[in-house]
Structure 1
């Protein structure tokens, strides 16, 4: 998968590396902004039974 992604990116190596860094930053930002808060609502850590009476 990574080799296929590397082959379809345009430009010399430094441009490909820059594009991959930007893509990674966008994916991480999307995870922090939307996916992690959505998942936190589903997990409900206050419903834990560890250490309860």
Structure 2
């Protein structure tokens, strides 16, 4: 998959590296700000019970 992505990014090595870093940052931001908050209510981590 990484090879496929690297071959399909336009530009030289430096441009491809910058684009790859930006794509990783975009995926991380999407996960942190959209996906994880959306699924947080569905996770059982806040349901603490003690006996």
Q: Same fold (TM over 0.5)?
A: yes
- Work out which structure has the larger RCO, using CA pairs closer than 8 Å and 6 or more positions apart in sequence: 2
Matched, 1:21 2:39: no
Larger radius of gyration: 1
Normalization by structure 1: what TM-score?
Answer: 0.82
Query: Unpaired segments of 5 or more residues in structure 1?
Result: none
Normalization by structure 2: what TM-score?
Answer: 0.84
- Residues paired across the two proteins, number: 51
Offset at residue 40 of structure 1 (A): 1.3
Question: Aligned ranges for residues 26-41 of structure 1 at < 5 Å?
Answer: 26-41=26-41
